[in-house]
Homo-oligomer: A and B are copies of this chain.
Amino acid sequence: MEQSTARRSRGITREQILDVALELFNERGYDKTSLREIAERLGVTKAALYYHFERKEDLLLGLHLRLHALGREILDDLDALEDERQIVAAWPKLLDRFIDEVLANRDLFRFHQRNERALHSLGDNEQHAAENDDLAERFRRFLGNPAIPLADRVRMTCSVTALLGGLMAGEEVYGDDVTMDEVASHVRAVIRDLYPPA
């Protein structure tokens, strides 16, 4: 696990490229980030990147897959639930797991949040491999289910965005003297108020 500021050992890996791409996509956005910049930060040339990734879009896809691996389990569990009663009952526990995942992978979730449009346009090209598997897309389909009362669906939407909003605002917002663990415990308290124990 070597940091990505100055390369010396010749030979670069896909994962190292994705690490730097994630950094830059979060700093400047996917569209505004050029392959030249990524190559520069890695200390290689543009052409070197093309050995590992055929197209710029494949960087997006690579990062998408990282995120996908994280959220898949939770969403599969969600889809396995049958009726509204089960869903609402399981929701607080699912959110709790989700908080852990977001905490451990804030860069990746920030990337997804800030580049949602770019990610969505992946689906146009790569058959629908992207679109159908996209986490946000699956979640949106779930929220469209008219069998669940609207009040519940709105509340679920709010709880997820509250969670993301509370956690994504990190030290740079709350101040450097707070820890993410503190923030997370407050977020959990907020979630509890939205879904009080019966």
- Residues of A that sit less than 8 Å from B by CB: 28-29, 31-32, 114, 116-118, 121, 140, 143-144, 146, 150-151, 153-155, 157-166, 169, 173-175, 177-178, 182-183, 186-187, 189-190, 193-194, 196
B117–A183 contact, CB under 8 A? no
Q: Which residue of B lies closest to A176 (CB)?
A: B144
**Contact A144/B175 with A157-B169, A166-B161 known, Cβ cut-off 8 Å:** yes
Query: Which one of A151, A154, A165, A190 has the highest number of Cβ atoms from chain B below 10 Å of its Cβ?
Result: A154
Partner of A189 from the list B151, B178, B196 (CB cut-off 8 Å) is B151
Chain B residues with CB below 8 A from A165, complex form: 157-158, 160-162, 164-165
Chain B residues with CB below 8 A from A183, complex form: 150, 154
B146–A177 contact, CB under 8 A? yes
- Give 18 new A-B contacts, CB below 8 A, not counting A144-B175, A158-B166: A29-B118, A31-B31, A31-B32, A32-B121, A140-B169, A144-B174, A146-B177, A150-B178, A150-B186, A154-B174, A154-B190, A155-B186, A155-B189, A157-B173, A158-B163, A162-B162, A164-B165, A193-B193
